[in-house]
Amino acid sequence: MLWAGLAVAVAAIAFFAGQSLRPEDEPELAAELTALPYTAPAPAFGRSLGGFTGFGEKSDARGRTVLSGRVTTVGPDAIGLDTPAGPTTIGLAGERSLRRLEAIDRDAIGDGATVLALISPSSGEVTALLLLEEP
pLDDT of residue 36: 83
Half-sphere exposure of 22 (CA within 13 A, CB side): 11
Backbone angles phi and psi of 73, in degrees to 5:
-145, 150
Asked if pLDDT for residue 104 goes beyond 70, the answer is yes
Does pTM top 0.75 for this prediction? Answer: no
pLDDT of residue 73: 92
Q: Sorting pLDDT into bands at 50, 70 and 90, what band is 72? A: very high
Asked if pLDDT for residue 44 goes beyond 70, the answer is no
Burial (CB count within 10 angstroms: exposed 0-12, middle 13-18, buried 19+), residue 80: middle
